[in-house]
Structure 1
Amino acid sequence: MPFASSLPILAQTTGAEPGLVTYFTQSNLAGQIIIFALALFSLVAWTIMFGKTFELRKLRTLNLGFQEKLREQRSILDLPDGFRVPEGVPYAELFRDAVEAYWRVEGRRGDGDDRLIAARIEHAENALQRAVANQSLEYESNMVFLATIVSGAPFFGLLGTVWGVMDAFGAVALRAEASIQMLAPGVSGALLTTVAGLLVAIPSVFGYNYLLSNTKQLITELENFASSLADRIELESR
């Protein structure tokens, strides 16, 4: 019977359960190297995503704390001796640069008070603009590595697949007889690199978009703080 005659063939083809380990061993050397590289990329991506998330949360908490502390002061241009500007806080860096630039301008002979005040305010605003740009770069640090992994991992996996399929067809072409059983192991091993590339890229793209959204929010809050600080300096100067 046809059904009975097909049983030996089924028994031969299903002798081993397919799995990731089997596919990995069936990959060529280039595919295995690419999979190891993608595993390294995945480790870097997850490290950046977790580290950047905790860093942005910490900076936002420190910023809000310093902002509240600054609101309690009657004057930001004449602070008490006990007031300390903390290190490593973006809002504090903006405040320090603005106040230092403000008092750096000294009056010259023939300058009136209004002209001196205008020059000090202008210098403080310029310092705030530079500080905002510098802190924005700090917020966005390491994001370029994550963006590179997001865009490069799928292509890296595709390279391994194309290379593996090429080797599989090349090996079959050298044999007198070709069958799907001879071709399938090499192709399945080659496709594993594409799967690995997608497994690296998909979580990375979600993490990148999440971090990018938080970064933009913090930059907007930074610009708003700089604007309010400039207004307060101008009001206290009059």
Structure 2
Amino acid sequence: MEPQVGAAASAIAAADFSFWTLFTRADFIVKSVIIMLIAASIYSWALIFEKYKVFKKIFKSSEEFEEEFLNSKSVKTLFEKTSSDTDDPMTVVFRSGANYLMQNKSHSQAVLTEKVKRVMDVAIDKEVEKYENKLTFLATVGSVAPFVGLFGTVWGIMNSFQSIAISRNTSLAIVAPGIAEALFATALGLLAAIPAVVAYNKFTSSSRKFTQKLENFTQTFLSII
């Protein structure tokens, strides 16, 4: 018994369990799962860096504009200083409200305030869609990737059992490579899912804070006019 165990251990030790070898040795289904998870992970990280830059930029630009707004002499003066090509959400919301206000001064105060609020709310919704764009992809990767990896694991273990049945050999040297491929798929699933979930929660929180910031600015604007 001991010589058999020693031989199996030696065979396993001699086997190559590098990531590339695990990939090339896997069958078509497991390879497809691995490629899918790696692609999802790469795109998730690209999206994470992009959204990090976007939220950092809009928080900074909105703070600068808010300070400029509070120090401005009039709505018209600030409107003329801002550009229609701006990518700052708060500036866009301000310009939508200020533009409507200056074009419809003949309305009564109550009606004008209500309509300006509606115009600015629509502008907020459009801006929210922009900076929340593709966040659902992170949520999808976070929830689906572990199950995709698990599918690859189950498939790999099934292949290992088939190898045992065909060779009629229960040696670890026969089972180990297939199990290693299977667990590799699980690891990739978690590797893709964990950063995606963390990033989605972080950016969702940032989005809520910034949306609240825009709504507070709208209230300040309406109270001033």
Match of 2:92 in 1: 93
> 1:156: how far off?
1.0
What letter is aligned with 1:207?
A
Whether the aligned pair in 1 keeps the contact of 2:17 and 2:180 (CA below 8 Å) is no
| One-letter amino acid of the structure 2 residue matched with residue 62 of structure 1 | S
Q: 1:232 to 1:172 in 2, by over 3 A?
A: same
- Does the C-alpha gap of structure 1 residues 127 and 11 become closer, same or farther in structure 2, counting only changes over 3 Å? closer
* 1:123 aligned onto 2:121: no
Give 1:226 shift: 1.1
Deviation above 6 Å: which 4+ runs of structure 1? Answer: 2-6
The corresponding residue for 1:181 is 173
Is structure 2 residue 207 aligned with structure 1 residue 208?
Answer: no
Q: 1:56: which partner in 2?
A: 55
Match of 2:150 among 158, 161, 164: 158
Per-residue deviation, residues 103-162 of structure 1 (Å, max 9, x unmatched): 33364xxxxxxx622222221111121112222222211101111111111111111111
Aligned pair in 2 of structure 1 residues 12, 197: CA closer, same or farther (>3 Å)? closer
CA distance, structure 2, for counterparts of residue 80 and residue 7 of structure 1: 81
Are the aligned partners of 2:11 and 2:173 in contact in 1 as well (CA < 8 Å)? no
Name the counterpart of 1:15.
14
How far 1:48 moved relative to its partner? 0.6
Q: TM-score under structure 1 normalisation?
A: 0.83
For 1:148, which of 140, 147, 155 is the aligned residue?
140
**Distance across 2 between alignment mates of 1:194 and 1:80:** 55
**Count of aligned pairs between the two proteins:** 224
Letter in 1 for 2:172: I
Residue correspondence of structure 1 range 20-99 to structure 2 within 5 A:
20-76=19-75, 78-79=76-77, 83-85=81-83, 87-99=86-98
Offset, 1:33:
1.7
RMSD: 2.4
| Deviation for aligned residue 1:172 | 2.7
Give the conservation status (yes or no) of the 8 Å contact 1:28–1:189: no
Give the SS at the match of 1:14.
Answer: helix
Match for residue 236 of structure 1? none
C-alpha distance 124-200 of structure 1, shift in aligned 2 (>3 A)? same
> Matched residues in 2 for 1:210 and 1:80: separation?
33
**Higher helix fraction (1 or 2):** 2
In structure 1, the residue corresponding to 2:77 is in which secondary structure? coil
The aligned amino acid for 2:110 is A
Question: One-letter code of the match for 2:49?
Answer: F
Query: In structure 1, what residue type is equivalent to 2:31?
Result: Q
Partners of 1:214 and 1:131 in 2: how far apart? 19
Instruction: Return the letter of the residue paired with 1:68.
Output: E
Distance (whole Å) between structure 2 residues aligned to residue 207 and residue 153 of structure 1: 15
1:172 is the counterpart of 2:159: no
| Other structure's SS at 1:88 match | coil
Secondary structure class of the residue paired with 1:174: helix
Give how far 1:184 is off.
2.3
Structure 1: give runs of 5+ residues left out of the alignment: 108-114, 234-238
